[in-house]
Chains A and B, each alone.
Chain A
Amino acid sequence: FDSRLPLVNRSDGTKNGETFAPAKDQFQEELVIRPLHSGDIYASFQFRTLWDTDFLQEGQKKVSHYRLFPKSLGQVLSKFSVQELHISFTQGFWRTMQWGQPFIPSPPGAELWVWFHDTVSDVDGNWKELTNVLSGIFCASLNFIDMTNTVQPSASFKPLGLGNATDHRFLRYATLPREIVCTENLTPWKKLLPCGSKAGLAVLMKSEKLFHSSFHSQAVHIRPICQDEQCTSKAWELRQTLNVVFDHYTSGQGKKEWSLFKMFSRTLTEACPLASSSKVYVDITDNPELFELSPATPLLSQAVVLGDRRTYSVYDLTRAETFGQLRSFNLLLRWKGDNMLRPLLHAERYVAGFGLQTGEIHTVIYNNHPYRAFPVLLMDSVPWYLQLYIHTLTVTSKSRDNKPSYIHYQPAKDRHRPHLLEMLIQLPPHSMTEVTVQFERALLKWTEYTPDPNHGFYVGSSVVSALVPSMVAMSTNFTQDQPLFSSFVPVKEESSYFVRVYTEPLLVNLPTPDFSMPYNVICLTCTVVAVGYGSFYNLLTRTFQVDEPSPPLAKRLANFIRRIRGVPLLA
Chain B
Amino acid sequence: GAAMLRGGTAVLRRAASGGGHGQGSAQPLEPSLLRFLVCPLSKRPLRYEEATNELINEELGIAYPIIDGIPNMIPEAARTTQKKPPAEGSKEP
Q: Do A and B bind each other?
A: no
Residues of B near any A CB (own CB < 8 A): none
Mark A residues whose CB is within 8 Å of B: none
